[in-house]
Structure 1
Amino acid sequence: MFLVRQLAAHGHPDGLFVLGRHLWSGGLVTSDPVAAREQFDRAARAGHGPARILSTNLLASGIAGPRNWLTALSRMSDERAIDPRRKLQIELLSRMTLNSAGQPERLRKPERLSDLPDAQLFPGFATAAECAYLLELGSRNYRPAEINDGRGGTRLDPIRNSDEFTIHWLIEDPVVHAINRRIAAVAASEADRGEAMQLLRYRPGQRYRAHYDYNPGLDNQRELTALIYLNHDYKGGETSFIKTALKVKGRKGDLLLFRNTLSDGSVDPMSEHEGSSIISGTKYLASRWIRERRFAP
């Protein structure tokens, strides 16, 4: 790290970028997302292409620093030579009805599925093009689902044998962020209360056994769960609530939103649910947990 810090101190673009990555992830140094973003911004100004992409992503989302949606959008056009995906992202954003802050101006009306658990379905929440975009993001990045092992590492999830890919905050591009803000809007929440979006893949025989998204060990509780169905050409795989007759199998683009807590903040016992086993085909979801308070740095 000494050499990296020396290079960064002299304004070397690669040194600034590498130092930013270490500060973001932690390990060799203490994790400091705010300081990491500062290094990415400096590297971007020094002409480092990948750093510019990350800097713009963070400017669009407001993670670990100020947010300026319009400036982020204006920078994207110049970044098409750095990242060809910027062209598609600009096109997708142009189809969304957003205000100058990136907030959705029109929202789908929900269908009430249940009062206990508190569950709603938003048909057509995401467009076919948005679903295709999220599917492409995950296509080469899925890994077996893991959980924290309590010792600073990870282990395979004992109740879920699906595959997953987390669109962590550094790679949360403006399209993903706009979708996250739309989720927050229909949930009457704020985007900074959401965890990073996860893309989930379930193949035949894979499932998510009965569980609660509520975690008693959390100080900032997972209050809500949002699931976007990215396809519907599979058999099985219903989202089934164990203590009720409610089973949900959304169409492509539908969003299922349900509450994990009661009004006093305790767990809603009726929110226990499972992702039933896939019989044939492959099920794809985008998942986002929403906390009680700000969660993003």
Structure 2
Amino acid sequence: MNSETLLIEADRLVAAGQTGRAVSIVATAAEQGDVDALFRLASWNLTGGPVPRDLRQAREILRRAVAIGHVDAALLEIALTANGSGSPTSWHAARTLLAVAARSDPVAAQHMALLDAMRLTADGHPAAEPASARLATQPEIRHFPALLTREECAHLANAANDLLLPAGVVDPRTGRAITHPVRTSDAAVIGPMRESLVVRAINQRLATITATDIAQGEALTILRYRPGQQFRPHFDAIGNARNQRTKTVLIYLNEGFAGGETHFPKLGVTIRPKAGDAVSFTNTLADDTTDPQSLHAGLPVVQGVKWLATRWIRKRPFDAWTGPETQA
């Protein structure tokens, strides 16, 4: 049985509820050196299904796949090394792995070129504080012109392309996923398995401009708005959250569209998107309750397509694999 047939059969068994058999055939193939089976087994150990999540085990399996020459495994190992999944966080080690991968993989080489164009410290932090202007005091709203280059913006949009789905929310009455009643865009989440070293550097830049730890940030969310789509007036703070969303950063990834402004109706502040610009704002009062002045909206797109990246930042650092509301 070749790798493709084996993985199709494993998927069929998982769908049929025969997870034990699925794991057995993949694990056996992995032991025999099947690189695609190794990558699948590592992925299962990361996601926690159909086997229990084991980040260290995933890293060990992934290393075997990389040694055999699996390109996607190499990129995944780089991401996990940088964000500290299954091992201590190490920007230096991740960059070293990327340099090795870039010798033979054009995707890794592109990532390396983007990193080389950034002004970074040895640990991946911005070498200088980005310039900003204050647009409002309560809540504090700051505008960061040209925070990202156009190449970095394109990288984020491209990273989301194969993940985009209509924005959804869980209906509290039925527990089923339904269309988001407030946000009508398509959305993609760049989680720890997809956090390339370029995305990691950008996330660190967002932590720097908000004076927060990178581990306080939720996974970067990429949003695509087509004509007529919008994000109706809403608050980003969450009622009864254990670990409140205290800050938000929006990054405008493109131009060439009409509409789509970010509007704060209670403040009379409207921000016209410009590619590479970012806006940060606080969501809460001193007691962590929602600041009523933070009400904001993404106005409807009239023409063209708008791309936006959003980073919601929590009050305290959290484990990216268990989520911001999980208590230690």
Structure 2 length as normaliser, TM-score?
0.83
Three-state SS of the structure 1 residue aligned to 2:221 is strand
SS at match of 1:171: coil
| Partner residue, 1:226 | 249
- Deviation (angstroms), 1:153: 5.6
**Structural mapping, 1:1-297, within 5 Å:** 1-8=23-30, 13-80=35-102, 83-149=105-171, 154-295=177-318, 296-297=320-321
Could you tell me which runs of 5 or more consecutive residues in structure 1 were left unpaired when the two chains were aligned: none
Q: What secondary structure, in the 3-state scheme, does the structure 1 residue paired with 2:128 have?
A: coil
Of the structure 1 ranges 215-224 and 86-95, higher mean CA displacement relative to structure 2 is found in 215-224
The alpha-carbon deviation at position 60 of structure 1 amounts to: 1.9
* CA apart distance, 1:35: 4.0
Percent of counterpart pairs with the same letter?
A: 38
Per-residue CA deviation, residues 174-206 of structure 1 (Å, 9 max, x unaligned), is 011100000000110111111111111111100
AA of the residue aligned to 1:69: W
| Structure 2 counterpart of 1:115, one-letter code | T
Q: Which has the larger radius of gyration?
A: 2
Contact 1:201 1:284 survives alignment (8 Å): yes
User: Could you tell which deviates more after superposition, 228-237 or 62-71?
Assistant: 62-71
CA–CA distance in 2 between the matches of 1:148 and 1:257?
A: 27
Structure 1 length normalisation: TM-score? Answer: 0.91
CA distance in 2, matches of 1:160, 1:69: 35
Distance in 2 of aligned mates of 1:146 and 1:27: 22
Gaps of 5+ in 2: 1-22, 322-328
| Contact 2:103–2:109 (8 Å) recurs in 1 | no
Q: Which letter maps to 2:65?
A: A
Paired positions, count: 297
Deviations along 1:4-58, whole A, 9 cap, x unmatched?
Answer: 3444566654443222212222342334445433432343345433222211111
Q: 1 or 2 for the larger relative contact order (CA 8 Å, sep ≥6)?
A: 1
Moved more, 129-138 or 8-17: 8-17
User: Retained in 2: the 8 A contact 1:50–1:82?
Assistant: no
